[in-house]
Amino acid sequence: MKSSDSARAGNAASLRAAVRALRRRDPVLRRIMQQIGPCHLRPQRHFFWALAEAIVSQQLSVAAAATIFKRLRQLYPDHRVPRPQDLLATPAVWLRAVGLSRQKVVYLKELAEAALDGRLPARRLHSLSDEEIIGTLTKLHGIGRWTAEMFLIFVMLRLDVFPVDDLGLQKAIQRAYQLRRHPSAATMRRIAKRWEPYRTVATWYLWASRDGKGVVYGEG
């Protein structure tokens, strides 16, 4: 793995270090942390399925996406998570029958092809920087920068990701720091400078501050 702070993946010890550092540096975050409690970010192992879930969830409610996931897994033995080769071999008409749009079927098929032909190098992702991963993922249809950033945060647990275009984060910063106006990207980056190299953890707490609970992958 590259030695830059942006490329560091988190574990329990590094999350504790992040929380300690953020508490010292930012009294606003310290109050939020006291209200929310422990950070529940955990890395995930199934990169392909996590990206497939992200594609399926786009523009759907949590409940609607969960229904489609359940139906999708029922297509495979023991209702297991499908592998790329499983998804690629599944007729498009079957995928449409579980509730997927034609466009999402195309996106999922391309994702499966990419996982098999090396365009999505799952075993090499850990060695890439955050921006390299974003560049790799956004070459695939159906995956934009925001989705790639959520993948870095909730799946790979990279510690210094700051999704400046996320509306929920923008609103959380405006409220937490009592800003009169909706914050610009420049204002957000100025505030977040003190959080480096732990902007992922700060972001998670700010998201959680909006509803008083933790945030999981797949929630808007």
The tens digit of pLDDT for each residue in 115-136 reads: 999 999 988 999 999 999 999 9
The answer to whether 206 and 172 are in contact (CB under 8 A) is yes
Q: For 137-174, what is each residue's pLDDT tens digit?
A: 999 999 999 999 999 999 999 999 999 999 999 999 99
Please, are residues 163 and 143 in contact by the beta-carbon 8 Å criterion?
no
Give the residue range(s) of CATH 1.10.1670.40 domains in the chain: 5-43+160-211
**For this structure, is 78 an active site residue?**
no
The least confident of 81-85, 87-91, 152-156, 180-184 is 81-85
Q: What is the Cα–Cα distance from 8 to 37, expressed in whole angstroms?
A: 23
Residue ranges, comma separated, of all CATH 1.10.340.30 domains in the chain are 47-154
CATH domain 47-154 topology: Endonuclease III; domain 1 (1.10.340)
Q: Which of 43, 42, 69, 50 is nearest to 120 (CA)?
A: 50
* Residue-level pLDDT at 181: 95
Query: Given 26, 130, 160, 166, which residue is catalytic?
Result: 166
Architecture of domain 5-43+160-211: Orthogonal Bundle (1.10)
